[in-house]
Chain A
Amino acid sequence: MITEHVMTDEHNHGTHDTPGSWNGAAEPFKASYGKLMMWYFLLSDAFTFAGFLISYGALRLSMPSWPLPDFVFSTLPGGITHAPLIFVTIMTFVLILSSVTMVRAVQEGHRGNQSGVVKWMFFTIVGGLIFLGCQAWEWTTLIKGESMTVWTNPFGRHIEDGVYLEGDGHDIKAGQAFTVGAPYLIHYHDGHYNQLKYKNSAGEVKEQAFGPKAFGALFFFITGFHGFHVFSGVVFLLIIMLNAMTGLYQNRGNHYEMVEKIGLYWHFVDLVWVFVFLVFYLL
């Protein structure tokens, strides 16, 4: 009983005179709980993405050859097939632009400009939707046009010099020579993959081998997981924009902190794309 009494006494003393950090009165990082937790969520998400990208790296390094990015990603809408990395560069610009409009929305929030917040958030959402549309087109091209699946990767590269024997690949004709490292796509006709035959420099007749099996799964899963982040971001942006329109955040009087938090998330999506772009398309 005596001990309890003493503790209660100290406790009261503490709360009345010095409201210290330990009872939640002060913010040691000068950031609100919500903003701090958004940062830590993003940190954990960064580890998730890093895990995927590192396993991509490990699997790629474990293979003698890997599909050539500027061959795999070289199509543009309108039937253009020899435009390496152009489409994905446009996608990157779209995401950068939507990140910039997001910064503008946060800035307008800081000075309490409701219509400015709504306007710039709207542009950000449009950017996110364009990016998702581009990704849908890219996936459709790979799945429908080039018959890449999660399990089958028709994108390979030659590991020896040789000459094609019989070719009905769109660009590849019989008699055409190739060197080590030359990329190829195994075309899909009438329900089966058409692996072209070739003769190597030792005179042996072989046929085009499928590319590393993990490529499709890695590509669809990692870009899909990023795309899912973009999609969730668009949904949250939409909800927060509607809330901003109703004047909810104006009434809270905390300088549109919710806009700042979704802004952190949106920039993170752009940040992840920097690395997805690097490992899948550039390296």
Chain B
Amino acid sequence: MLNYEESKKVVFKGLILLAVVTLIEVAIALIGNGHIIEGMHWPKWLMYPLMISLSLYKAYFIVYEFMHMRYEVRGLSLSVLMPTVLLVWGLIAFANEGMHWNTSRAQIKEKNAIGLKSDGQSSKSSSEIHSSEVPATEAPATH
């Protein structure tokens, strides 16, 4: 543990650090989207990773310094931090699903149209869903 004077310094350092990182993030968003210099646009693949890493750094600093996770027993910090790794999969799975909806709109509409014809049967067997690859009008409505 730090003594009183040392920890007061950490607080001041934290204030400056969080403020500066936030300003950099906003600057990236404004410059990259052409608000500061007319006509200048940065690609998303450059802006997004930068802004995400800076935010993760802010999160790390808040948890480790302000919430004192640095000074807790290893078991405590592991039991709190490790479960959040599950979110990485959540993020990948849902992002993937979202992008799939975006790119497969026509196909999803087609499948829904077949689903409506099935006389109140809400669920379709896998063979029927496969048959939706052919145009909806030609697809078998019932078994």
Contact = CB atoms under 8 A, between A and B. Distances in A.
Contacts of B58: 274
A275 interface: yes
Contacts of A57: 91, 94-95, 98
A250 interface: no
Contacts, number: 133
B138 interface: no
B13 to A, nearest CB: 10
> DSSP majority for the A interface?
helix
Contact of A85 (B26, B90, B101): B26
Interface string B29-52: 110010100000000000010011
B133 to A, nearest CB: 22
A278 B14 CA distance: 19
B73 interface: yes
Nearest to B71: A30
Nearest to A272: B59
A31 B84 CA distance: 21
Where chain B touches its partner, the secondary structure class is helix
A194 to B, nearest CB: 27
B76 A58 contact: no
A264 B33 CA distance: 36
Interface in B69-125: 72-73, 75-76, 79-80, 83-84, 87, 90-91, 94-95, 97-99, 101-102
Nearest to B84: A46
Nearest to A268: B67
Nearest to A69: B29
Nearest to A270: B62
A181 B68 CA distance: 44
Interface of A: 28-31, 36, 39-40, 42-43, 46-47, 50-51, 54-55, 57-64, 68-70, 84-85, 89, 92-93, 96-97, 99-100, 102-104, 107, 110-111, 263-264, 267-268, 270-271, 274-275, 277-278, 281-283
Interface of B: 4, 7-8, 11, 14-15, 18-19, 22-23, 25-26, 28-30, 33, 35, 48, 51-52, 55, 58-59, 62-63, 66-67, 72-73, 75-76, 79-80, 83-84, 87, 90-91, 94-95, 97-99, 101-102
